[in-house]
Amino acid sequence: MSTKTILSVTERRKALENLYPIWPRDTIAKHFEKSCREYKDRPYIYINEEELTYGEIWDLAVQYAKAFMKLGVKRRDHIAVLMNNDSTYPSLMIASSMVGAVFIPINAMLTKGELGYIVSQSDTQYLLVQQKVKDKHHAEVIEELLDTPEFRENSQLEKVVCIPTDEKDSIDKRFLLWDDFLKGADTVSDKEFQQRWNESRYPDEVAIIMYTSGSTGNPKGVMLTDDMLLRAGYATCMSRAIEDGRVTFAPLPFYHCFAIIEAIFAMSFVGGSFISALGSSPLQSLQLMEKYKANDYLCVPSTLVPLLNHPRVSEFDLSSLFAMWCGAAPAPVPVWQKAMDVLGLTEIITGYGQTEVSSSGVTTEIGDPLERISTRVGRPKLGGSSSVPEFNGSNVQYKTIDPDTRKTLPAGSIGELVVRGNTVTHGYYKKPEETASVIDKDGWLRTGDVGKIDENGYIQLLGRSKEMYKVSGELVSPREVEVVISEHPAVSQVNVIGVHDSLTTEIGAAFIELKLDESCTRRDIIEWCSSRLAKFKIPRHVWFVKVSEWPMTSTGKVQKFRLKDIAKERLAK
């Protein structure tokens, strides 16, 4: 049993309602100003052996905001951040809100071509880049992009701030070094800063553009306002009945909406803290949860299972741990049962959503039976004062439609899930056609997922109507992978599908037809992809087929559903 005294779910939700009896409609910066004043001396983030309080997070945000102003950032300018999880990250997000800019978190696993596309397409004017993230030499990649005429022609990039991580490597003279960026703050007065912040307090402007894989191959920038993001974070608190001062272990990337909403924002409503340890091993995760007395664990099945199976798991004092959210992919009942038995959990949930819905739209209820948690992804989150009254106290509403006619289906029918509400994006940045194809005149957004809604309002996912698949929670567009492989000189035709994988839930499988008299191996294809695609997008399975082996429609299109059957047979062997 947890050593932390936990009030009942009802009492905790009541406390949250008392904190926010009327929804305040704040910007990110205004919200954090209140939280950082209220919880000034409490720890907010534990990361890389550092501990920062709410007060310290706020002071850094003010410094960064002034430095942005000195750099030349104007209201509605675009600031992109390309870095690993870092103690500066939350403060940079707050600072961007203070100066009225748009914050663009970029996936640190992407390759040069992917980065070039996002920096250009997003109209990023100011880029903060960590010199090196693991094996990714990001500063070098940005240098190369700046030397490319096509990138210079299509990009709005004005200034790059580089955070050095390796003293041996020289840094391009075109980059402003982090320390020099910070010194710029000293030249901006409090009065100038306050005036800018006063001009930047409209919560319905776009605050963050978050990139997600698109079915057409290129990622799409999901536009989210301050108000959407904050409502989503507060709804997480209500749904999970998050108590005052909760400590959450969140080994998730900061460039992903799961970490931003469920940790960075959610904890700020209750004066809670979170432990960040991206890429930590099961052993390190156990050590950190013990050290900081974690109450809560945010995870995906591919990180949870190795932790539960670690031979030393029973040696750690996890008596403070009682809650867990395991999302991004389904897990069978025995995994949930083992989590309860091994970690001593009393409150476990799963959920479902997407970047377009500001992270999670639905969660299961605390206390739901394990059978329901393993077969359902939840029902719309409780929103308290942030909710839409017509949506039964939630921020969002789901229904199923016929994917071809878009007509609403009767309750309980299997169809494509669509969602609307006050945390749902209004569209993709500079992609009016893609926006119009997924969001109708009444604000219903097509999720691309097939499912049904049961008599209790719980969603059961049955697959995706689009051909996307998820590798450890990361969405992959087959089209994007196909384009890369088709550029290999030996390849005539390629089709990529997602297939089941016990560790990552799904993984890519490529069917390839070679050009006449050309030869190629699986290793050749993997090596070709490795410099052009993020690691999670590279297909694990590569099968070569003859022209006569493609399953075709009468109109000459490859039937991907039949490729899935062929893949199943091959994997079974």
Q: What is the CATH number of the domain that holds 247?
A: 3.40.50.12780
pLDDT top residue among 333 and 123? 123
Measured CA to CA in angstroms, residue 525 lies from 106, 509, 517, 519 at distances of: 26, 12, 17, 11
**Domain of residue 502, CATH code:** 3.30.300.30
Tell me the residue type at 356: E
Shared domain check, 338 and 290: yes
Percent of the chain with pLDDT strictly greater than 90: 81
- Residues 41 and 269: beta-carbon distance below 8 Å: no
pLDDT band (50, 70, 90) for residue 166: confident
Q: Flag whether 209 is in a domain.
A: no
The predicted pLDDT at position 283 comes to: 97
Q: What is the DSSP string of 306-329?
A: HHHT-TTGGGS--TT--EEEE-SS
Q: Flag whether 529 is in a domain.
A: yes
Tokens of 483: 């384009």
pLDDT tens-digit series, residues 463-508: 667 677 889 888 787 878 888 998 899 998 899 999 999 888 899 9
Shared domain check, 397 and 265: yes
Shared domain check, 418 and 270: yes
Q: Flag whether 484 is in a domain.
A: yes
**Average pLDDT, integer, range 181-201:** 98
The predicted pLDDT at position 464 comes to: 67
- Residues 26 and 234: beta-carbon distance below 8 Å: no
Q: Whole-angstrom Cα distance, residue 466 to residue 468?
A: 6
Q: Flag whether 427 is in a domain.
A: no
Shared domain check, 343 and 455: yes
The predicted pLDDT at position 1 comes to: 34
Q: Flag whether 508 is in a domain.
A: yes
**Average pLDDT, integer, range 428-451:** 95
The predicted pLDDT at position 5 comes to: 66
**Average pLDDT, integer, range 221-227:** 98
Q: What is the pTM of this model?
A: 0.85
Q: Which domain holds residue 172?
A: 26-202
CA atoms 155, 156, 158, 161: torsion sign = negative
| CA nearest neighbour of 352 among 375, 383, 384 | 375
Tokens of 488: 């290999």
Shared domain check, 477 and 347: no
The predicted pLDDT at position 466 comes to: 65
Shared domain check, 86 and 70: yes
Shared domain check, 241 and 351: yes
**Average pLDDT, integer, range 540-562:** 83
Residue ranges with strand state E in 277-363: 296-299, 323-326, 347-349, 351-354, 359-363
Average pLDDT in the chain: 93
**Domain of residue 119, CATH code:** 3.40.50.980
- Residues 90 and 45: beta-carbon distance below 8 Å: yes
Q: Flag whether 106 is in a domain.
A: yes
The predicted pLDDT at position 215 comes to: 42
**Average pLDDT, integer, range 86-115:** 96
Residue 519: is its pLDDT beyond 50? Answer: yes
Domain count, the chain: 3
Shared domain check, 501 and 377: no
Say which DSSP state 201 is in: -
pLDDT top residue among 149 and 332? 149
The predicted pLDDT at position 469 comes to: 83
Residue 408: is its pLDDT beyond 50? Answer: yes
**Average pLDDT, integer, range 404-429:** 94
Q: Flag whether 218 is in a domain.
A: no
Shared domain check, 498 and 406: no
Shared domain check, 274 and 155: no
pLDDT band (50, 70, 90) for residue 298: very high
- Range with the poorest average pLDDT among 38-47, 332-341, 349-358: 332-341
pLDDT band (50, 70, 90) for residue 328: confident
Residue 364: φ, ψ to 5°: -75, 170
Q: What is the DSSP string of 452-485?
A: EE-TTS-EEEEEESSS-EEETTEEE-HHHHHHHH
Q: Flag whether 431 is in a domain.
A: no
The predicted pLDDT at position 4 comes to: 54
The predicted pLDDT at position 346 comes to: 96
Say which DSSP state 160 is in: E
11, burial (CB in 10 Å: exposed 0-12, middle 13-18, buried 19+):
exposed
Say which DSSP state 377 is in: -
**Average pLDDT, integer, range 407-431:** 95
**Average pLDDT, integer, range 375-399:** 96
**Average pLDDT, integer, range 2-23:** 88
pLDDT tens-digit series, residues 130-159: 999 888 899 999 999 999 999 999 999 999
Shared domain check, 260 and 324: yes
Shared domain check, 176 and 80: yes
Number of other residues whose CB lies within 10 A of the CB of residue 409: 16
**Average pLDDT, integer, range 546-550:** 90
Percent of the chain with pLDDT strictly greater than 70: 97
